[in-house]
Amino acid sequence: MNDLAVIVLAAGKGVRMRSDLPKVFHEILGEPMLTYVLETVKQLNPQRTYLVVGHKRDLLMDYYKEWPLSFVAQDEQLGTGHAVMQVKPYLDDFTGMVLVLAGDVPLLSAKTLKQLIDFHLKNRSAATDLTAVLADAANYGRIVRQANGEILKIVEKKDATAEELKIKEINTGTFCFDKEALFLALKEVKPENAQKEYYLTDTIEILRKKGLPVYACRAEDPLETLGINTKEELVAVEKILLGRQA
């Protein structure tokens, strides 16, 4: 896709993994979880792929040095919005769509990502969030939306009201943006939240307030959107992959 750039976020420490390895470097069936994400990205044939690295970046830069991607450093881990901002200088000459993925969501398929891109284009959206409906929304950000699929805002669990915590539709951390809209919104993101971080999710409400269309595209298979934050979740994803191979 000539008009597609992909940003994969892989800078985090993964404190809850109880290990000093970069979170995305923990293995699933003998491969770092990040490899699953990058293999899926390759199937989209993007014009450019950027891997945002931070904690122990040399490990990742050495391991993926032969891959068709560029490394971008995030020296301080100040949130997902801050991570994406580090890529801005590399995209100054690019016009098109920007797909943002988390490096710790290894089950996502190219089919689902293509559906997200198609939905984004069809709705002429400034930003489209891939969402999922989970029986237990747990620690995920909640989607506050209208019936037609337009999003009002995404609320992180730590900042959600009791009413918002009842919402079962969650943000998966996977987004498709119009490039100009993305960086227009990121300029206005502030770390005014419980984590004191720059949230990429805040771009949704910012774009909406500017009168630009923002949408939720629901994934058909919620299992694909599972993120990994703990060793227990790693084992659960391993079991899903083993089941698929059986």
| CATH code of the domain covering residue 150 | 3.90.550.10
- For residue 143, the enclosing domain spans 4-245
pLDDT value at position 246?
67
pLDDT value at position 18?
79
Q: Which residues of the chain have pLDDT under 50?
A: none
Structurally, the chain folds into a number of domains equal to 1
8 A C-beta contact, residue 167 and residue 137: yes
pLDDT value at position 12?
87
pLDDT value at position 100?
98
8 A C-beta contact, residue 183 and residue 97: no
16 is catalytic: yes
pLDDT value at position 194?
83
Q: Which of 16, 145, 208, 218 is catalytic?
A: 16
CB atoms closer than 10 angstroms to residue 187: 10
Task: Report the predicted TM-score, pTM, of the whole model to 2 decimal places.
Answer: 0.94
